[in-house]
Structure 1
């Protein structure tokens, strides 16, 4: 065992390539004929959005490293240059498959359902007339054609905006000879235009792309000149915020200042109409200082995510997933006194199968209860219209001591969080922004209530955000408890976030960046010792990502000692299973289904005295060392047994599971023999939900 070097690059899958593999699995959902048609279209849109963020953050970061001459390699030993080449090699076929699927499968199937995306060549005379009027009345006044010459340099283009490169012949009114021009489509314009269903010949759901209308009538923007070509394109900019932790005086002002920089980040990708001639492609690449490898050709709209607007058509229920109502467990029905209930027992909720409303009710009751003295809460992603924030505002206005830790740097939610902070402060709440240099990613609420002559703490801890929309789309666990030790721990963590206190010793909880990582390694080592002594040893880790090298090496050591290791990793996984002599006892699976798997659950067999933890943290460097995270034990035996039972569903999934091979590729799980496919999500929905 000691003779094997666990630092060998061959033992690690590259993070970025693993993330691309995840997006490939999402795209496979769009190809799955057993999934309702509009849901397949939704998966296609999600795969497009995922790629956007991948380029904005991951590829942008690699390009920065390349620019600064960084050759520091990851554990897999791929340099930034190697990774960028491999990303281009793998991404281009993926994008080609997206457009093939859209044009050859989804569009024809949608047309059979009378949902049509009508190409210019197929417009009827009446449709062309209506669209021409629409162009002149609604588009022409807001479009600004920009000729390119020494007095008109190439304009600054917004990140992911729709633009057109135009080639021209002839002279304009000033006698200038034009070659190229650019037309930008303002963000306010709809990318999909619905033809009026009341007009003869139009269906109820007939659409035309904005790009098609601009293509058709773009010559009106250049009177007296001849348009010889019009091709859509879109650029992607580096969108990661940089805030210098050592130079911050006011974090909110610093983040507000950096938000504007997203408009000006370096261009890292360009998507171009696949019909665009090579000379125009070269011109665009030279303009943005990109290489040929940075260009991705689009056989359709350059932003597939704009199709998302048709995925929720109310009159096409057979084309979407059957709606369901999250269940409210019996003990939480009839608006119970939650403080009385939690005084007797813990409550564990599994969203979205079980309702998020009890957490909102918990806060509402706390806001109205005259015995509640203080409420403390962390907010990472919450949404602009949130019942959670409404309850906090009501509590502050009612004179409660309300303290909210808002993470201003929650990626792509920064502006919303700044608005939330201002609203809470206006209501009289104390708002802090965590700890400079560490994102506050913990999900926790603390309510302090006077009961007789004593104070009692009531707590909610979760694996996911306090966000009403994602509570319907993401799987998450939430625990409500009045356990004394847990309450004291949560209060200490809040004190750490709001004051300048020292490192604290916790009773039950584990936290990052202090104890979580070491505790996980210790628990893995404990399973190794059990295996060496001949006892059963088993580890189950369910997480979104597994990338941190020390924990991967610990899991390799566990496998080498004979510990059974089951990993349920939705997205990025750098561990290679099935390597002889190293990871033969490790199985890795990813579940991709109707809901986004988001629960983080850690199980250790512990010599027949199992421990189960839920956490806000993934097994990544950032979560272990650069974020404030909470990891909480499921103490009640019945709730612990329930979580273990539900983990078993995921380990037995043969309908929506993908199995990781040692080469980094994934294959679909299949039922054994003549068994029916088993789906963890569908089973949980049937058992816990109210469908």
Structure 2
């Protein structure tokens, strides 16, 4: 019998704030730096990743909230917290995170690295030999590049580059023109390395010794101010709004507009100020006022103001024992390096699971298509692909060989805009047709289509994926990719390309779901079907694996499913605004996040469907922007063998008892603990071992 819903699903108390959820994800990443099961240099990398993530959080999310307040735009998330309230909560949690980052660096990682003969030397530990070498290095490699600026009426406080390393210097005495100087500002050029390795001749055998650029500048700052005394020298950094402000409705040339906006990105409004913790209070106040910064947005840090730059240490240290072990990527059975991919796909669909399986077959498909005289056309979407991409090389070769090559490039892929502008120019020069998607909608779909003439007829070969066409990230992001020659899927993909390039009407799909048209409604209908099965006493189970769960209608559908008795397992890497385990609401919902060696990026949807299971994979997360304001694809896995393989993968993730974090009702996460009688299960390790073989 159908159950009446008595809970007000619009109650803001039923939702976790998305910004705080993103900070909690970053906290989980930071906890990897404390995990002694992770190699030491990789733990250092996790600390750096947490710093990079926090930078982007301020550049985009905090900046957006500040803008909303300035223009009076209401904050319309499901929890109904105002932008002002949200910023207060963010500041509190972010300060806790930053304090923990530097505590982990100073009290855990640096001492453990020193035990392994890897040391970042503070000035207090420089020997005479160190000092001599560093002074020479400063004078020859650093000093000639620096341009300190004394502050006066003719030299006001400069507009500082976003996230650049800067120093405020307190001076005593008169300069060459007889002027009293109080403060000077020094910006370290980005060309200078932030971590300098000392040469072997000033180290003992087997030792790695490093010095921060900031320490060198502190030590020899007086060389920059002849005849004056440096009273104090303190590092600081300003983080700015880095989101591009582009009105796609008003511009007639999106490429030119984005290129112009990129020059301004480094000088957006200030959103955060980081200063060395030992900087005197009066200088802190001076910097705060000059940067027009509220006290809550000032962070006093006990270490380098940009932790992410320490990641260079890992690449400079040759200690394989302190890094993840290398792994070999597998390939699907029947898809060896010399296989005719078109012939293989005529026999059966192929499923690739990166990084456990190689990205190379996708590149080989394009390369074969570029040289195959039977191939007439290639169509491809590119969101993030990398500066040196074999995918782009193959597309260029195909265009130069006379193939009809059409590429849909998303110029507004955040922080990849500059690379995509250059990419568009290169493809156009080769003769490819380049379009930039739909005005007002980002093209986030991952799809490729090859049209080949066979026996006098056209046959379509398609690749659909959950991740970008980026070879480097395919070794660190988990993603699925489906290769198929299915006629109806091929027609669907072709129709989507026509819609993207011709601005036509909504195409009728045979099999695919696509945003912003049918994906949102399609997922809601499939959840509703599971509810009907549960209410009829039939098997009902949903497993969803995504990067984020934010969209309110989808969350409400999961709540209804739980109340109807549907078992709901959610594997959400990052933000999850749903509250699990709430009595009378979400008791049948469990939410877990897997944090490990690889960045979980697959988007998969499993529906039990009364014993006739469906599995879908796609490019979209469960966010309003993905479902309603982007072009996305979601495709069925119809092969029983491949469908069962993905279900097995999902069950491995649900069994993980070493890298899984469980979401609590209060929005915080608890790491899973393994009972003594249970075997150790790591989803990523299990899949690595399984996929290293031909699958």
**TM-score, length-scaled by structure 1:** 0.99
Instruction: Identify which of 205, 222, 228 aligns with 2:225.
Output: 222
Distance 1:671 1:291, change over 3 A: same
- 1: CA distance, partners of 2:115 / 2:292: 44
> Matched residue of 1:566: which SS?
strand
Q: Which residue of 2 aligns with 1:19?
A: 22
What's the counterpart of residue 260 of structure 2? Answer: 257
Aligned match of 2:595: 592
Question: Aligned equivalents of 1:428 and 1:314: distance in 2?
Answer: 44
Q: Which runs of 5+ in 2 are unaligned?
A: none
Give the alignment partner of residue 288 of structure 1, picking from 286, 291, 300.
291
Q: Decide whether aligned partners of structure 1 residues 387 and 131 sit closer, same or farther in structure 2, where only a CA change above 3 A counts.
A: same
Name 1:95's counterpart in structure 2: 98
Distance 1:5 1:132, change over 3 A: same
Q: State the shift of 1:436 in Å.
A: 1.0
* Structure 1 residues 334 and 383, CA gap change in structure 2 (3 angstroms): closer
Aligned counterparts of 1:110 and 1:248: Cα–Cα separation in 2: 52
3-state DSSP of counterpart to 1:332: coil
1:166 has 2:164 as partner: no
Which of these residues, 603, 610, 616, is aligned with residue 613 of structure 2? Answer: 610
- Mapped to 1, the partners of 2:183 and 2:204 lie a distance apart of 38
- Distance between the aligned counterparts of 1:230 and 1:36, measured in 2? 35
- Please give the secondary structure, in 2, of the residue aligned with 1:269: strand
**In 2, distance between residues paired with 1:426 and 1:69?**
45
1:360 maps to what in 2? Answer: 363
Unpaired runs of 5+ in structure 1? none
- Aligned positions of 1:14-163 closer than 5 A: 14-163=17-166
Rounded Cα–Cα distance in structure 2 between residues aligned with 1:194 and 1:508: 56
Partner of 2:235: 232
Q: Which moved more, 1:668-677 or 1:346-355?
A: 668-677
State the shift of 1:180 in Å.
Answer: 0.9
CA RMSD of aligned residues (A): 1.2
Give the match for residue 575 of structure 1. 578
Partner of 2:673: 670
Task: Measure, in 1, the Cα distance between the counterparts of 2:268 and 2:336.
Answer: 51
SS of the residue 1:29 aligns to: helix
Paired residue secondary structure (2:256): helix
Query: Counterpart of 2:644 in 1: which secondary structure?
Result: helix
Matches of 2:292 and 2:678 in 1, distance apart? 55
Residue 521 of structure 2: SS of its match in structure 1? helix
**TM-score normalised to the size of structure 2?**
0.98
Aligned to 1:551: 554
Give the conservation status (yes or no) of the 8 Å contact 1:147–1:178: yes
Residue 398 (structure 1) aligned to one of 401, 419, 427: 401
Paired residue total: 691
* Shift, 1:616, TM fit: 0.4
Q: CA deviation at 1:221?
A: 1.2
**Counterpart position of 1:312:** 315
Q: Tell me the CA shift for residue 200 of structure 1.
A: 5.8
How far the C-alpha of 1:33 sits from its partner, in A, is 0.8
Q: Do the aligned partners of 1:312 and 1:320 also contact (CA within 8 Å) in 2? A: no
Q: Quick one: structure 1 residues 468 and 295, their matched pair in 2 at CA, closer, same or farther if it must change by over 3 Å?
A: same
Q: Is the 8 A contact 1:234 1:271 kept in 2?
A: yes
Residues 661, 670 of structure 2: 8 Å contact kept? yes
Q: How does 1:398-477 map to 2 (within 5 A)?
A: 398-477=401-480
Distance in 2, matches of 1:177 and 1:335, equals 75
197, 205, 209: which is aligned to 2:208? 205
Measure, in 2, the Cα distance between the counterparts of 1:533 and 1:621: 31
The answer to whether the Cα contact below 8 Å between 1:512 and 1:630 also exists between their aligned partners in 2 is yes
Give yes or no for contact 1:670–1:677 (8 Å, CA) kept in 2.
no
- Provide Cα deviations, 1:436-482, integer angstroms capped at 9, x if missing partner: 11111000110000001110000000000000110000000000000
| Worse-matched range after superposition: 465-474 or 672-681 | 672-681
The 5-angstrom pairing of residues 522-533 of structure 1 reads 522-533=525-536
